[in-house]
Structure 1
Amino acid sequence: MGEGRPDSAKQSLGVQLAVQYGCMFLWIFLSAAVILVNKYVLSVSGFPYPVALTCTHMLFCSVAAFLVVKMGFAEVTPISADTYLSCILPIGLLFAGTLWTSNAAYLYLSVSFIQMLKATMPLVVFMVGCGFGTEKFTMNSAGNMVIVGIGIAIASYGEILFVLVGVLLQAGSIICESVRLTLVQVLLQKRGIKMNPVSTLYHIAPCCFVFLFLPFTYIELPRIMKDPNVNINVPLLLGSAVAAFALNMAVFLLIGKTSALTMNIAGVVKDWLLIGLSVILFGSTVTGLQLFGYLIAFAGVMYYNYLKIQGMKQQTSGVEKAPEKAERSNSSSEREPLISASPSPTGRPK
């Protein structure tokens, strides 16, 4: 019976890796789609109102999650008042801040430069995770993050279309997103709360919508009412909201399967894709130096994933050895009474 365990463990590890990387690639695709659509809506279609756009997303997500739960396709995990106040509200507030500042940055910066700035998020997530205890500080991880940071710094050097307001908005978005992702990981893993993506969105999206609705009402709504050139393209906004709903579920699913840091390091792969698409679709300028920097960052990402797989293999190996040790211990304890029951010539047990 023990002979089947190694093959079974290897198959289990393979399935686990397939699920994790499947979630990762799904998130990369949806994230790229949402970013490109949002850039088009805000900068090209004639609707330069990031808070209104994010309000639309969160309203759709709230309604969609509510309908999915009420139709019986998913169950809602009960949340205590203490958990709601200590986890859901902060996550909703940070999520609102992330969406607002991130979308607003597209009014000032190109997609390619924003992705370069976003790629610094693994550094921030790593530091925040160490502070919250969700990530363990090691010299390998720290050195790997330094390599990623150096690559991103090289790639960001010499940006032609530099607008300070846009950079500050994107920096605020990175900070909010890093803390939010870590808090989501604490909610899903550290506190032992089992929630599926729909259930998580069911609790967080309405809270996020409320935090966004206030600045929308007092800041953007009066401007929209007075803007004679505003173009409210309902099908385009609806498509953007559907993509955002799918992306939000993919985010929670990916964090639940891996970690916030893993998701943000995978974001560097997404950055490569988006930089290429931004050159093709929006005519963004990308220099050879920027590509060289991203190549360094990409190498750091691949090495991080290699270390992660090696750690998973070591854990699997430890699980395999534990039953074997238990079996040897049980078999030896079963033999000991038989040996000791046989008297030696001196009358003492052997």
Structure 2
Amino acid sequence: MTQMEISSEIPWPTIGAVISWYSSNIGVLLLNKYLLSNYGFAYPVFLTLCHMTACSFFSYVAVYVMNVVPFQSVKSTNQMVKICGLSVVFCFSVVCGNISLKYIPVSFNQAIGATTPFFTAVFAYLVNRKREAWVTYATLVPVVAGVVIATGGEPNFHLLGFLICVSATAARAFKSVLQGVLLSSEGEKLNSMNLLMYMAPVAMLVLLPAALLMEQDVIWITINLARNDIRIVWLLLFSSSLAYFVNLTNFLVTKYTSALTLQVLGNAKGAVAVVVSILVFKNPISIVGMMGYALTVIGVVLYSETKKRYS
């Protein structure tokens, strides 16, 4: 077999999508942490507003101009109301995630975020009474136990940051369950890129008054800051662009692989993000904390396997 034949068998689009997804996902986490904590730009609501503005613009370009995915229209007022409801939950999860980065390290943030399957199972039961096999529920025990252990061993534990991060994780899970319920009919289903195109502008409308009320004078503060340090403009633009590309590459990885593969890659991504964040920010981490996080990841992997087998 020639070198050319070997190369032709390598799924380069898939490899490129996975690398881009990892890079944008970890990059936006690290950059947000730097902005909100190390740089001192303590305005997470405004930062999220910047992200949603970029998502609105890039989504429009991707769908209308570049035809990355076929355009899907909103067919009724009722469907738009449902999208607005999802957008509010989405806003809450992203804002809480950004706020938590002010108080806790990225490594601990990722450990808490790994408990998403637990909250998904809880909300799936509460919202539509969906029951899983007992084995599936059993795998959630190490997921939660691991975070409890990681919390006890976290040198930089911050109660408010912990609670806000848990809220972000729960809201993320609730949004996925709610999306399945609200947009379940064939006529209302939207692919992730079209859904983001509709949700992002709604999120902007929610976040603008929230930023002006909660982070007073943030626009003038940012303008004055930019006059003294132009880097803030490039950092905000880069962070906002990455926030969109997280969604785009997530869609591409799912397209080239499968939702299950995306979940497995997501588990590995969390571990990579932990290692990279520790190397970049040099935040202290205990052996107990690492063991707790490892237990959570093992639980998530087992959960994925049992879901695949018993669903």
Query: The TM-score by the shorter chain falls in which range?
Result: 0.7 to 0.9
Distance 1:145 1:23 in 2: 30
Distance 2:249 2:213 in 1: 32
Distance 1:34 1:211 in 2: 22
Q: What code does the residue aligned with 2:91 have? A: A
Kindly state the Cα deviation for residue 282 of structure 1 after the two structures are TM-superposed. Answer: 0.5
The answer to whether the 8 A contact 2:51-2:239 is kept is yes
C-alpha spacing 1:167/1:48, structure 2 compared with 1 (3 Å): same
- Which of 140, 147, 152 does residue 147 from structure 2 map onto? 152
1:112 is the counterpart of 2:107? yes
Partner of 2:43: 49
RMSD, aligned CA: 3.1
Q: Deviations over 1:83-116 (max 9, x none)?
A: 111x211111011111111111111112122222
Partner of 2:63: 69
Q: TM-score, normalised by structure 1?
A: 0.72
The answer to whether the 8 A contact 2:104-2:161 is kept is yes
Distance 1:26 1:44 in 2: 25
Kindly state the Cα deviation for residue 221 of structure 1 after the two structures are TM-superposed. Answer: 4.2
Distance 1:25 1:185 in 2: 28
Structure index of larger Rg: 1
- Which of 91, 97, 100 does residue 96 from structure 1 map onto? 91
Identity percentage of aligned residues: 27
Partner of 2:185: 191
Partner of 2:34: 40
The answer to whether the 8 A contact 2:64-2:71 is kept is no
Q: What code does the residue aligned with 1:116 have? A: A
C-alpha spacing 1:27/1:308, structure 2 compared with 1 (3 Å): farther
The answer to whether the 8 A contact 1:122-1:264 is kept is no
Distance 2:273 2:215 in 1: 28
The answer to whether the 8 A contact 2:117-2:300 is kept is no
Distance 2:263 2:173 in 1: 9
Kindly state the Cα deviation for residue 119 of structure 1 after the two structures are TM-superposed. Answer: 2.0
Distance 1:119 1:299 in 2: 10
Q: Tell me the number of residue pairs that the alignment of Structure 1 and Structure 2 aligns.
A: 290
The residue correspondences of 1:71-90 to structure 2 (distance < 5 A) are 71=65, 73=67, 74-79=69-74, 80-85=76-81, 87-90=82-85
Kindly state the Cα deviation for residue 229 of structure 1 after the two structures are TM-superposed. Answer: 5.7
1:208 is the counterpart of 2:203? yes
Q: Deviations over 1:14-58 (max 9, x none)?
A: xxxxx9999777655432221111111222234221111111110
The answer to whether the 8 A contact 2:151-2:157 is kept is no
Q: What code does the residue aligned with 2:88 have? A: L
C-alpha spacing 1:237/1:197, structure 2 compared with 1 (3 Å): same
Gaps of 5+ in 2: 1-12
The answer to whether the 8 A contact 2:155-2:285 is kept is no
Distance 2:266 2:129 in 1: 19
The residue correspondences of 1:132-281 to structure 2 (distance < 5 A) are 132-133=127-128, 136-186=131-181, 190-192=184-186, 193-223=188-218, 225=220, 231=229, 233-251=232-250, 258=259, 267-281=266-280
Q: Deviations over 1:159-204 (max 9, x none)?
A: 222222222221221222121122233456x322443332111111
Kindly state the Cα deviation for residue 121 of structure 1 after the two structures are TM-superposed. Answer: 2.1
Q: TM-score, normalised by structure 2?
A: 0.81
Partner of 1:341: none
Distance 2:45 2:206 in 1: 10
Q: Which moved more, 1:160-169 or 1:197-206?
A: 160-169
Question: Which SS does the other structure have where 2:283 is aligned?
Answer: coil
Partner of 2:25: 31
Distance 1:258 1:187 in 2: 20
Distance 2:129 2:267 in 1: 21
Distance 2:17 2:248 in 1: 10
Distance 1:130 1:242 in 2: 36
Distance 1:163 1:96 in 2: 23
Q: What code does the residue aligned with 1:300 have? A: G
Q: Which moved more, 1:204-213 or 1:59-68?
A: 59-68
Distance 2:292 2:19 in 1: 23
Question: Which SS does the other structure have where 1:114 is aligned?
Answer: helix
Kindly state the Cα deviation for residue 234 of structure 1 after the two structures are TM-superposed. Answer: 1.8
Distance 2:149 2:178 in 1: 30
Question: Which SS does the other structure have where 2:209 is aligned?
Answer: helix
Q: Deviations over 1:220-272 (max 9, x none)?
A: 2415535866756222211111111111234566789538xx96776443332
Q: What code does the residue aligned with 1:242 have? A: S
